Amino acid sequence: MRNNHQEPIMNKISITLIITLVMLMTACGTAKKATVTNPTDNTTQQTTVQTQTTAHYDEIIATLGTWQTMQTGGSLTIDVGSTFSSGVQVRMVRDEAIFISLRPMLGIEVGRLLITADSIYVIDKVHKRYAAEKVSLLTAGLPITVSTVQDMFLGRPFIIGQGTLNQANKEKATLTNDGAVSVLTPNDKYKGYSYVFTFNKSHNITSLNITPASASTSAYQVRYSNVKKTTAGNIAHTFRANGTVGKKRLTLELNYNNIEWNGSVKIDHSLPSSYSRVNANQLLNLFSN
């Protein structure tokens, strides 16, 4: 028999996976692509700025290495009015899958989140239920891939529909300097929203901001810190996302321990046959008011 005192903790564990899914959905799937705005009369000035920052732009790109797999332990903290923390295991296969296993007590898995190229799974072992949805629930029609979400989790700048920032696609974005801060703005806009990356003078990413056109401040923000040089390039080991769903302010912080790159990674794609299936939209309705 379950200890009644543990029930509130179990409910928090269950809801943590849902919040993780919510944060990804709100940050990635809230807008549709719109027509790109034509250049204005300050084209010459913009060209001059781009020329001045070319070397810095190349230095930022040079910090982005390649990788095939990653796995790490770490911690996940959720704040949605009250705070809950848990140990996690994170595994990724480039372009294929993101796996997050929630392990709050004694290393015992109580739930998992799995994102693949075409599906999203949330498995709640506490209440013996799961949600399985098409990845379109996450992308809302945008050309966002698993790789885009992986880049977001690891602090790697990307251009939606173009992949990770690199020498081949760098003309799809503009880099400007503002003192010690550099701002990378993708040229393609999405209806009602823009997104920008910021970097410090050491070329390390510091934030991703997603802003509605009607607002003066970001609706969704990711702060990056603890950036370390690895065999896969400079990787942020702390990911802190903030956003609002309905009337609720959500914060999710993910911290990685020592990341292992390009080793053998096992990701379990199986679904428990004895669990009840629920609709992810029903779970997300918890945050609609």
Residue 1's pLDDT is what? Answer: 41
Alpha-carbon torsion (151, 25, 34, 223), positive or negative: negative
CA-CA-CA-CA dihedral for 91, 92, 96, 100, to nearest 10:
40
Report the pLDDT value the prediction gives residue 43, as an integer from 0 to 100.
47
Q: How many helices (H) and strands (E) does the chain have?
A: 6, 17
Q: Phi/psi class of residue 288: alpha, beta or left (left: φ > 0; alpha: ψ in -120 to 50)? A: alpha
In a domain, 1, yes or no: no
The answer to whether residue 227 sits within a structural domain is yes
pLDDT of residue 254: 94
Is residue 2 a part of any domain in this protein? no
Q: Check residue 125 and give its pLDDT.
A: 87
> Is residue 248 included in any domain, yes or no?
yes
160 assigned to some structural domain: yes
Domain-located, residue 210:
yes
Give the contacts of 87 (CB within 8 A, at least 6 positions apart).
73, 74, 75, 76, 102, 103, 104, 107
- Domain-located, residue 175: yes
Q: What is the CATH number of the domain that holds 217?
A: 2.50.20.10
Q: Is the dihedral of CA 78, 220, 64, 206 positive or negative?
A: negative
- Output the furthest CA–CA distance in the chain (Å, rounded): 72
Splitting the chain (289 residues) into consecutive groups of 10 residues, what average pLDDT does each group show? Answer: 43 56 57 44 46 80 96 91 88 95 86 89 87 76 84 94 94 89 87 84 93 65 95 96 75 94 93 86 57
Per-residue pLDDT at 44: 43
Q: Which pLDDT belongs to residue 129?
A: 87
Helix, strand, coil % over all residues of the chain, rounded to 5: 25, 40, 35
Q: Give the pTM.
A: 0.82
**pLDDT score, position 196:** 93
Structure token digits, residue 54 = 């070319």
- Which amino acid belongs to residue 113? L
Domain of 250, in residue numbers:
7-287
Q: Does residue 94 belong to any structural domain of this protein?
A: yes
What does the pLDDT read at residue 63? 96
pLDDT of residue 37: 40
Specify the number of domains making up the chain.
Answer: 1
